[in-house]
Chains A and B, each alone.
Chain A
Amino acid sequence: MSNFGDKAATLVQDISQSEKGTIPPYNDELVRAVVDESNEHHRSILRLIGDIQEQGTSLDAAAPEDAAAILVHHQAVLRNKRALLVYLNERADRVRALRWEVGTALPEDLGESLSHSERGYFQQYSALVNRYQGRRGGVGINITLDPTPPKEHKVQVRVLQERGELVTRDGTVDLAKNTVHLLWRDEAQPLITEGVVEMVV
């Protein structure tokens, strides 16, 4: 057995060094190794206790070196557990964030880097969000569109490319080059993504 807790630390490092918003492939091998290591610690503890009891002394009166050994193994298990939870929790956070970014459908390449249970988690979380957004029993709007609520419902845009007339809720707008318009946010959004107009503050 190498140094106690090394593998668990690698696991945490992996997830913390990966870029925010991405999900690195689920490191099944290492997780398993950490669990194995913890089991090994557990066995060591049991063995140590067995040794002490064999000698006929009570646990309370064990030699200090034996007691210390048990404690070290115990702490190593706690540490591994904590590291595993950190790893899984961070991944769970990112999986949830995924629902807000990509919507209900999990992209193929991302799905592959999730573990089986993480995929299940995503489905269930997605269902929850859908129910909240739904018309029946929910708020009835798509809350994932604008994660930060917009200050104003209209935006000012400057036209970069000649686009002719556009029919909006407020009437017809002539999108001539180098003109500025105040449009509804949802009507302007596609034009902004297309690059026909740019937002002006």
Chain B
Amino acid sequence: MLVERDKFRFAYDELRQDSRECPVLVYVSTADVDSCAAFSILKTMMRSDGIPFSAYPVGGYQELQNLGERLPKDGKNRSIVLINCGGTEDVVTLLGLPEGTRVFVFDSHRPLNLENTRADNRDVLVLRDEKEGEEHFPEPDSDYGEDDSSDDDSSDDDDSSDEEESEADEDEDGDKENSSGGNEGDANDDDERAAKRRRKAEKAERRATRNRIAYYSRGSFYGRAAGLLMYDIAHDTHKDSLEKHLPLWLAIVALTDQYVHQRLSHESYTAGVMELATQVSNLPGADAPTSRVLDEGVVVRAFEDRRIQYAEEFRFSMLRHWSLYEAMLHSPYVATRMQTWRDVGRQAMNSLLTHIGLPLEVCKQQYSHMSPTHVKMLGEKLEEHGGSHGLTDLKFWSFSFSHGFKVKLAASDVVHGVTALLEGLPSTTGADEDAEGDDGEGGGGGGAAFWRAVNALGMTRSDEMSAGLGHAMRAQRALMRQGGLALANKAVIRTVGGLRYFSLLDHGSPADLPYFKHPLSLRRLALFLQDALRTVKKIERPLVVVGPCVEAEKGMAMVVGVTGKPVNDDTAGGNHFAHSFRRAAEHIRAKFRHDSFEASVLTVSERNLGEFMESLSDFDAERLARERMAAA
């Protein structure tokens, strides 16, 4: 059942109740920074209450299922918390829930499985904020259609909406026959009324089915970040000021993570920022002066012990950690707009910097070492001149975290750094990879990488954070190299049917391949390519990018799909690859794994790639046709 925003607090109370009998089990997805943030907030809360817990990082459905099998069936009241996983599957079946076990789902993945949201499912509590928008959750089956409810259950488990559609259709037909057969026999008034009611019920049932199909067939999309949901609880239970207001910062990171990885629209992001900005301005000492005048009249920066600030930031990734020039060159925002993979683009960028009046050698030095006058000039002039180079909305509202004089991190920096740690990127020496190799089960990352990321998110380990940022910069360079190469060569990005297709396995340079072993990084490449293609090409087409898999899965390839329309647009709907990937792989009977909580990621045997793409494009054409029909 759904737990609405005003009841979040009680959900936490229930959790605390259950913890008296056995420790709370936390199953947390290793797939994104949002999960890390959500877990860290929950951890902080539980620690302050002394609630015993056991946390298990999980990389995919298979692992989740294994954990479910290991659940002791002792009938004790036990609470399980799912963070960014499970919401899209029927949790009861997936985990094989024993008696007395309750599951609290904090999942930003959508569509939610309707079995989980139905009101009479008291073992699964899905926390969801109404602010998210879509208020309507069709009930999986009404009380009327009792005879076909079992069939419906099974169809709900399926990923593909179309199979469900056909099954549901059959069910309806069957039902109609039954009812009409029953009607003919009796001419009684009472019976007629009953029949009428029944017809009405059938109609309602059919409408419910249609709603259900409509809901699922939107494809995969994202709701409110798990970190924000967790923060809501922390706020309601007055635990948001723990550990020097760390939960608030983590909520900010969670929101920024969704934005950076293009999981939510600009509107939702702005709404979220507004919400958090209020909290930030309510912090004690929020209006403390940032500078201090010494006795001699010299103005210096005041020492700040941890401070969160709300400010506009440039859309240049990790600006504070490398040079302005590199930050611009490697930020997808500038790269796609100025087409910096071409010589012309780079020249345009140089000329832009010249227009601003910044010497190139100043731009190429460490940003943090740039003189204040130059930084000021940058702020003033860039917006003025950027417009003529296509750089319109150069800044976005965000937050930054400072600690003392040394640490100053933008929320997006943290997201990049922690993402890199999650991905468990190979270090320059390669020794790191060996050390973590045995843990890298869940595709590049794995448990050890997850804990490393969580550790860095605690904001006390600045060495870990800078290691992450170093990784992130290397990865960003690799991304721009590969992305640039792909865009510069016309033949590399092929068109298969209505889809565009790019394979790193065919066209990527081997040295850079290790950077793309994680679904997150491959998706980042896909998003960058798609953004760039949108500016270059006239027609928008969905893009499929193929990358390498982790060593453990030799001969497999990872496939990531992004839609044609940008995600920063609420009307666009979800990622339809969630359905078509699986169907295409099943259709050609390839060896594949569709295990990730991210439905638009699939691993498929390398040998079947060609076939897979053809099948995928067929399914896509089918989808387009259906959409067109629906529109007409």
Contacts and interface: CB of A to CB of B under 8 A. Distances in A.
Interface of A: 152-154, 156, 158, 168, 170-174, 176-184, 200-201
B447 A177 contact: yes
A158 B451 contact: yes
Interface residues of B, number: 27
A174 B447 contact: no
A130 B524 CA distance: 65
A152 B451 contact: no
B47 A182 contact: yes
A180 B54 CA distance: 6
A152 to B, nearest CB: 7
A200 B52 contact: no
Interface string B55-89: 11100000000000010100010000000000000
B57 A182 contact: no
B46 interface: yes
A171 B57 contact: no
Interface stretch (B15-23, B160-168, B204-212): B15-23
B560 to A, nearest CB: 26
Interface of B: 19, 21-23, 43, 46-47, 50-57, 70, 72, 76, 439, 446-448, 450-451, 455, 458, 460
A165 to B, nearest CB: 9
Contacts of A183: 52
Contacts of B46: 182
Chain A CB within 10 Å — which of B21, B52, B76 has the most? B52
A171 B451 contact: no
Given A156-B43, A158-B451, A201-B460, A180 B52 contact: no
Nearest to A169: B52
A154 B50 CA distance: 7
B52 A181 contact: yes
A181 B451 contact: no
Contacts of B52: 154, 168, 170-171, 173, 181-184
A200 B455 contact: yes
Contacts of A168: 23, 52
Contact of A182 (B23, B70, B76, B450): B23
A171 B76 CA distance: 10
Nearest to A175: B54
Contacts of A180: 43, 54-55, 451
Contacts of B76: 171
14 contacts: A152-B47, A153-B50, A154-B52, A158-B451, A171-B22, A173-B52, A174-B70, A178-B447, A178-B448, A178-B450, A182-B46, A182-B51, A182-B52, A182-B54
A179 B70 contact: no
Contacts of A181: 23, 52-55
A200 B447 CA distance: 14
Chain B CB within 10 Å — which of A171, A176, A183 has the most? A171
A168 B52 CA distance: 10
A134 B287 CA distance: 53
B446 to A, nearest CB: 8
Contacts, number: 65
B22 A176 contact: no
Nearest to B451: A158
Nearest to B72: A172
Given A171-B21, A171-B22, A171-B76, A178 B54 contact: no
Given A158-B451, A173-B23, A201-B460, 4 more contacts: A170-B52, A181-B55, A182-B43, A182-B52
Contacts of B23: 168, 170-171, 173, 181-182
A201 B456 CA distance: 11
Contacts of B448: 178
Contacts of B455: 200
B335 to A, nearest CB: 37
Given A172-B22, A172-B72, A152 B50 contact: yes
Contacts of A174: 54, 70
A156 B76 CA distance: 24
Contacts of B51: 182
Contact of A179 (B21, B50, B57): B57
Contacts of B55: 179-181
Contact of B54 (A154, A179, A201): A179
Contacts of A156: 43, 47
A176 B43 contact: no
A184 B52 CA distance: 8
Contact of A176 (B47, B56, B439, B451): B56
B458 A173 contact: no
A155 B56 CA distance: 17
Contacts of A200: 451, 455
A201 B460 CA distance: 10
Contacts of B57: 178-179
A170 B23 CA distance: 6
Chain B CB within 10 Å — which of A156, A180, A183, A200 has the most? A180
A170 B47 contact: no
A185 B57 CA distance: 23
Contacts of A154: 47, 50, 52
Contacts of B19: 170
Nearest to A160: B448
A52 to B, nearest CB: 63
A56 B446 CA distance: 98
Chain A CB within 10 Å — which of B23, B43, B450 has the most? B23
A153 B50 CA distance: 8
Nearest to A187: B52
Contacts of B56: 176, 179
Contacts of B460: 201
A156 B458 CA distance: 14
Contacts of B47: 152, 154, 156, 182
A182 B47 CA distance: 8
Nearest to B441: A178
A170 B54 CA distance: 11
B451 A170 contact: no
A173 B50 contact: no
A100 B458 CA distance: 34
Nearest to B458: A201
Contacts of B458: 201
A185 to B, nearest CB: 11
Contacts of A176: 56
Nearest to A171: B22
B513 to A, nearest CB: 26
B32 to A, nearest CB: 18
A179 B454 CA distance: 12
Contacts of B72: 172
